[in-house]
Every structure is written in structure tokens, then in C-alpha cells.
């Protein structure tokens, strides 16, 4: 029943999409994290002029489907080609690759900023007070006290977000990027063997996710040596 | 701006009516998929909580696969896999062409399977949050297993489950846009059709985003209301 020869045939084809999947995921998770951290920190000051636009950005990107965001950036902004050409940004919005990365990054920045905002607020006040009693500047307090604790605290929630992003890269196939899911869809319509292709492509994603979760678990354990638990 | 308003108007020559109708399809698709997912999720949570190895193992595998694999792949599996099987059956009865699965039903099934995997985790956590004394007291009262679940555990479990279910619902609503890839004319697909036909992608995708956002906001407040009601009369942090 199980046709190993068929798996041997399709797995290399599917794996040829892996570099693109990993690039999309890696770049957007990296850019998204940097943006998320900025957005989370900007909200700490409670300046209304900063907080209000950030909250709106977060609400919009969390309240609409990622697919709509990709289409809006790729097809929607394409409508403003002359303007984009005039400001020299057309090269960016012309490429489905960059549009997918922009959409994925903004999306994960919105979710990530909420995770980091919660984690930063979760750092005990006394620690910040103690740091300023030591004569640390605000930047030193942030760098040496608040961020190390907050980022460690955020690892479990953030790893969920990273998994969602890895899965999210599959939507890039809808704007013509042939990553693993795009190749899988092509294979299914060529061979009519949906189950086998699903199993093979699914195994690739599960392996990526398993690797990420193990690495982040190891990082968390390494950062909390005194809290050894099962 | 007036152009955009004209395109999105509900009357003659406007796409507003079609978009609102498609938003209705999105809503129906999401609600039915979510309810089917509640069924799958409850069964899977039961499996996870079972002390026997096989049910627990199967439920764990179900959760790992459908929470770890892109939803798009699951949708392709169900649509193409189902259609291929259906085409084979059609051939047996003498039909020649490709038989496509009904897209709405496939969409509901796909959302049900995917959201069930997430809902299982919510129900399991909520079940474990119910105080053990409640089980003992029910036993002391002589309630049967079914009575214990229906009268004591589920009402209290729902209290803990509602916030998590609200999150899964938001996920479902946004996932429903992916069903557009198999050709179901829901909000996403309808906006694509409009965008292509009027050559105004920006207007149509902004309109779609706005409608998704509105549905998400309104239904989100329904969940919050439900949560407040479920906890009424209880003191909690």
C-alpha cells in the first residue's frame, strides 16, 4: 500500500523549496522581532501620541487575515506604481518575495509586540527601582535588568508565534513563490496523490517546528539554570 | 474617493451587496467549522485525558500534525484527496470527468479539523483547571459519569475554556480566508473577483480587511460578554 519509491521521488522535489521557506521564515521572524521589540518599548512610556497609533497598528494586523495583508501589499499597492516609482520603492513592491516578507514581518511584529509588552510589564517593579538606586541610567536598566528577564519570560509564548510564522510562509505560494507548500500543491495536481504529498510535505514542516521548539526549550533551560524542572 | 464609494455601493453597479453576502458566507463557514471543531476538540481532549495509551497517543498525534502543518496543506489534502476519491467513485459509475468536492462542505471540514486540534488543548487545560473536590463531591452524591460531566464539570469547564476558545475563534475567522484557494466564493474570493474585474485591488482588499476586522471585533465582544456572564457571582482575579 505504501509506495516508498514515490516518496523517494517527491521528497527531493519538496526539499528544493526548503531554502525559500526557511528564508521567508528567518527574515520575517528576524525583522518582525526587531520591530516588535521597538513597538513594545515605545509603549512603555505611555505617550499618547505613540501608544495610540501602535495599538491601532496591532489591532488591524491581528484582526485581519494574513492572506488579505499579503494581497493588499502585493496587488493593492501595485496600483500605486507611479507614486512608488517616484519615491524609489517600486523595486521592493514589484517583487512577490519582498511583499511576502513585508506582510509576514508586519504581521508577526503585531503579535510579537503584544507578547513582549506583557513580558516587559511582568518584570517586577522593585528590580527597576533597585537598578535606579544603584545609579544605573534608564538605558542600562533596560539592557542589564529589564530586557534579559523579559525576553527569557517571553520565550514560550514567542515560540508559539514563531511556529505560526513558519506555517504562515506557506501563504507566499499564493503569490507565486514556490516554497514547500507551493511545490506540494503542484505535485498534487500532477500526480493526483494528495495523501502521500501531504505526508511528505507535512513531515518537512513538523521537522522544522520540532527543531525550533527544541532549540528554544534548550535556550530557556540554559537561561534558567536554577529552575530545573521536567 | 468618490470612485471607491461608487464601487462599494450596495445599489446597481456597486459591489457592496456582493461583498456583504460573501462576508455572510465567511461568517457561516467559520461558525460551522468552529462548531465541528468543538466536537473534534472535545473527543481529542477526552483522548488526551484518557489513561489508556492508544486514545491518548492518537489524540496527541492529531494535535501535533494539524497544529504543526500549514493550514493550506491540510486544505489541499482534503480538497484534492477528497475529489480524487470522488472521481474514482464517479469512474466506477461510468462518469468520465473530474468530480470536485463541494467547496463549502470541504471548507467546514478543513476548519473543523484544524480548529479541533487547537480546541482540544483548550478543553484539556480547562478540564484540568476544575477543582478535584468537585469530582469527589459528585461521586458522593451518587451522580453517574454522564451526569457528572453534564451537570458539574462542563458548566465549570466552560468558564475556564472561554478565553482560549475566543482565541481559537479569531484564528478560525482568519483561516476561513484560506478556503478561497479551493474556489469557494467567500469574502476573500469575492474581493479577488471584484479586484480583477474593476482593476481596483486596493479598494477591494481594504474593504475585505475592514469587513474581517468588523466581524472579528463584534464577535470578540460577544466572547467577552459570555466570559463575564460565565463568571458572574464568582470572585476571581
Q: Can you tell me the ipTM of this complex?
A: 0.91
Per-residue confidence (pLDDT) for residue A229, from 0 to 100: 53
Tell whether the torsion through CA atoms of A103, B194, B173 and A170 is positive or negative.
negative
Per-residue confidence (pLDDT) for residue B236, from 0 to 100: 60
Per-residue confidence (pLDDT) for residue B11, from 0 to 100: 75
* Contacts across the A-B interface (CB distance below 8 Å): 118
Contact check, Cβ <8 Å, B188/A65:
yes
Residues A109 and A69: beta-carbon distance below 8 Å:
no
In a domain, A138, yes or no: yes
Nearest Cβ partner for A194 among B64, B77, B217: B77
On average, the pLDDT of chain B sits at 92
DSSP characters over A46-85: --HHHHHHHHHHHHHHHHS-HHHHHHIIIIIGGGGHHHHH
Averages of pLDDT over each 10 residues, chain A, 230 residues: 84 97 98 97 88 96 96 93 91 94 98 96 92 93 94 93 97 96 95 93 97 94 73
Domain that holds residue A62: 27-175
Nearest Cβ partner for A184 among B73, B177, B202: B73
Task: Give the distance from residue A124's alpha carbon to the nearest chain B alpha carbon, in angstroms.
Answer: 18
Nearest Cβ partner for A65 among B67, B174, B181: B174
Contact check, Cβ <8 Å, B68/A181:
no
Contacting residues of A for B72, CB less than 8 Å apart: 170-171, 173-174, 181
The number of beta carbons lying within 10 Å of the beta carbon of residue B166 is: 18
Task: Give the distance from residue B164's alpha carbon to the nearest chain A alpha carbon, in angstroms.
Answer: 14
Residue A193 to residues A4, B69, B82, B215, Cα–Cα distance (Å): 13, 18, 11, 37
Contacting residues of B for A80, CB less than 8 Å apart: 202
The conformational region for residue A88 under phi > 0 = left, psi -120 to 50 = alpha, else beta, is left
Question: Residues of A at the B interface (Cβ-Cβ below 8 Å)?
Answer: 59-60, 62-69, 71-72, 75-80, 163, 167-171, 173-174, 181, 184-185, 188-189, 192-195, 198, 201-202, 205-206, 209-210
Using CB atoms within 10 Å of the CB of residue B229, give its burial: 0 to 12 exposed, 13 to 18 middle, 19+ buried. Answer: exposed
Residue B126 to residues A1, A122, B36, B51, B168, Cα–Cα distance (Å): 41, 24, 19, 18, 14
Task: Give the distance from residue B114's alpha carbon to the nearest chain A alpha carbon, in angstroms.
Answer: 13
Contact check, Cβ <8 Å, B212/A65:
yes
Distance CA B72, CA A70 (A): 15
Per-residue confidence (pLDDT) for residue A230, from 0 to 100: 47
> What CATH number does the domain containing A120 carry?
1.10.3720.10
pLDDT in tens, B121-136: 999 999 999 988 998 9
* Stated pTM of the model: 0.92
Cα torsion through B177, B182, B186, B189, rounded to 10: 80
Q: Which three-class secondary structure state does DSSP give residue A37?
A: helix
pLDDT above 80 (res B95):
no
Distance CA A221, CA B9 (A): 57
Task: Give the distance from residue A34's alpha carbon to the nearest chain B alpha carbon, in angstroms.
Answer: 24
Mutate to test the interface with A, among B73, B169, B193, B208 (most CBs of A within 10 A): B73
pLDDT in tens, B33-86: 999 999 999 999 999 999 999 999 999 999 999 999 999 999 999 999 998 888
For the packed helices B201-230 and B154-175, what is the interaxial angle rounded to 10 degrees?
180
pLDDT in tens, A128-176: 999 999 999 999 999 999 999 999 999 999 999 999 999 999 999 999 9
Distance CA A138, CA A129 (A): 11
Per-residue confidence (pLDDT) for residue A227, from 0 to 100: 67
Residue A206 C-alpha from the chain's centroid: 17
The conformational region for residue B13 under phi > 0 = left, psi -120 to 50 = alpha, else beta, is left
DSSP characters over B201-231: HHHHHHHHHHHHHHHHHHHHHHHHHHHHHHT
Find cell 471543531 and name the residue: B37
Would you state the cell numbers that stand for residue B20, as one nine-digit string?
A: 456583504
Nearest Cβ partner for B174 among A59, A66, A71: A66
Which residue ranges make up each domain of chain B? 17-230
- Contacts of B69 by beta carbon, 8 Å cutoff, 6+ apart: A167, A198, A201, A202, A205, A206
pLDDT in tens, B133-172: 998 999 999 999 889 989 999 888 999 999 999 999 999 9
pLDDT above 70 (res B223):
yes
Nearest Cβ partner for A209 among B68, B175, B201: B68
Tell whether the torsion through CA atoms of A212, B117, B179 and B165 is positive or negative.
negative
Nearest Cβ partner for B80 among A76, A173, A194: A194
Task: Give the distance from residue A135's alpha carbon to the nearest chain B alpha carbon, in angstroms.
Answer: 36
Distance CA B33, CA B35 (A): 5
Mutate to test the interface with A, among B209, B219, B220 (most CBs of A within 10 A): B209
Per-residue confidence (pLDDT) for residue A41, from 0 to 100: 94
Residues B33 and B25: beta-carbon distance below 8 Å:
no
The number of beta carbons lying within 10 Å of the beta carbon of residue A25 is: 24
- Is the domain covering B17-230 a CATH 3.40.640.10 domain? no
Per-residue confidence (pLDDT) for residue B2, from 0 to 100: 59
Would you state the cell numbers that stand for residue B39, as one nine-digit string?
A: 466536537
- Contacts of B124 by beta carbon, 8 Å cutoff, 6+ apart: B45, B48, B49
- Contacts of A148 by beta carbon, 8 Å cutoff, 6+ apart: none
Using CB atoms within 10 Å of the CB of residue B12, give its burial: 0 to 12 exposed, 13 to 18 middle, 19+ buried. Answer: exposed
pLDDT above 70 (res B232):
yes
Contacting residues of B for A193, CB less than 8 Å apart: 84
In a domain, A56, yes or no: yes
Residues A171 and A70: beta-carbon distance below 8 Å:
yes
For A175, name the nearest residue in chain B, comparing CA atoms only.
Answer: B181
Contact check, Cβ <8 Å, B70/A205:
yes
Which pLDDT band, with edges at 50, 70 and 90, does B26 fall under? very high
Residues A64 and A45: beta-carbon distance below 8 Å:
no
Number of domains within chain A: 1
Amino acid at each position: 500500500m505504501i509506495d516508498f519509491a514515490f516518496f523517494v521521488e517527491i521528497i527531493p522535489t519538496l526539499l528544493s523549496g526548503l531554502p525559500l521557506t526557511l528564508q521567508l521564515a528567518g527574515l520575517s521572524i528576524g525583522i518582525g522581532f526587531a520591530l516588535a521589540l521597538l513597538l513594545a518599548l515605545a509603549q512603555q512610556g505611555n505617550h499618547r501620541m505613540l501608544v495610540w497609533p501602535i495599538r491601532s497598528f496591532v489591532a488591524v494586523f491581528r484582526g485581519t487575515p494574513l492572506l488579505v495583508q499579503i494581497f493588499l501589499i502585493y496587488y493593492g499597492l501595485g496600483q500605486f506604481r507611479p507614486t512608488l516609482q517616484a519615491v524609489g520603492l517600486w523595486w521592493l513592491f514589484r517583487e512577490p518575495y519582498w511583499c511576502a516578507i513585508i506582510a509576514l514581518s508586519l504581521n508577526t511584529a503585531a503579535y510579537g509586540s503584544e507578547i513582549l509588552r506583557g513580558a516587559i510589564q511582568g518584570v517586577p517593579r522593585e528590580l527597576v527601582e533597585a537598578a535606579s538606586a544603584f545609579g544605573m541610567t534608564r538605558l542600562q536598566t533596560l539592557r542589564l535588568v529589564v530586557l534579559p528577564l523579559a525576553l527569557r519570560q517571553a520565550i514560550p509564548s514567542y515560540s508559539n508565534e514563531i511556529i505560526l510564522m513558519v506555517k504562515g510562509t506557506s501563504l507566499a505560494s499564493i503569490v507565486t513563490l514556490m516554497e514547500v507548500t507551493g511545490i506540494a500543491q503542484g505535485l498534487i495536481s500532477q500526480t493526483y496523490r494528495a495523501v502521500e504529498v501531504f505526508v511528505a510535505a507535512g513531515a518537512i514542516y513538523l521537522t522544522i517546528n520540532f527543531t525550533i521548539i527544541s532549540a528554544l526549550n534548550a535556550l530557556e533551560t540554559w537561561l534558567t539554570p536554577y529552575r530545573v524542572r521536567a | 474617493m468618490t470612485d471607491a464609494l461608487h464601487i462599494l455601493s450596495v445599489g446597481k453597479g456597486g459591489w457592496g451587496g456582493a461583498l456583504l453576502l460573501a462576508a455572510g458566507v465567511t461568517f457561516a463557514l467559520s461558525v460551522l467549522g468552529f462548531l465541528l471543531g468543538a466536537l473534534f476538540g472535545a473527543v481529542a481532549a477526552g483522548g488526551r485525558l484518557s489513561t489508556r495509551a492508544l486514545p491518548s497517543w492518537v489524540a496527541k498525534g492529531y494535535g501535533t500534525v494539524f497544529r504543526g502543518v500549514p493550514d493550506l496543506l491540510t486544505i489541499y489534502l482534503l480538497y484534492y484527496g477528497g475529489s480524487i476519491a470522488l472521481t474514482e467513485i464517479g469512474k466506477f459509475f461510468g462518469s468520465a470527468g473530474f468530480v470536485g468536492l463541494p467547496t463549502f462542505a470541504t471548507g467546514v471540514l478543513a476548519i473543523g479539523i484544524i480548529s479541533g486540534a487547537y480546541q482540544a488543548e483548550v478543553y484539556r487545560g480547562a478540564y484540568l483547571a476544575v477543582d478535584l473536590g468537585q469530582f469527589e463531591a459528585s461521586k458522593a452524591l451518587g451522580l453517574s459519569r454522564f451526569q457528572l460531566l453534564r451537570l458539574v464539570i462542563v458548566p465549570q469547564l466552560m468558564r475556564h475554556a472561554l478565553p482560549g476558545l475566543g482565541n481559537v475563534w479569531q484564528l478560525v475567522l482568519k483561516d476561513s480566508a484560506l478556503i478561497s484557494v479551493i474556489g469557494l466564493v467567500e469574502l476573500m474570493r469575492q474581493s479577488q473577483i471584484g479586484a480583477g474585474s474593476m482593476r481596483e485591488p486596493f479598494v477591494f482588499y481594504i474593504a475585505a480587511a475592514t469587513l474581517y476586522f468588523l466581524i472579528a471585533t463584534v464577535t470578540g465582544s460577544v466572547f467577552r460578554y459570555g466570559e463575564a456572564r460565565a463568571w458572574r457571582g464568582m470572585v476571581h482575579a
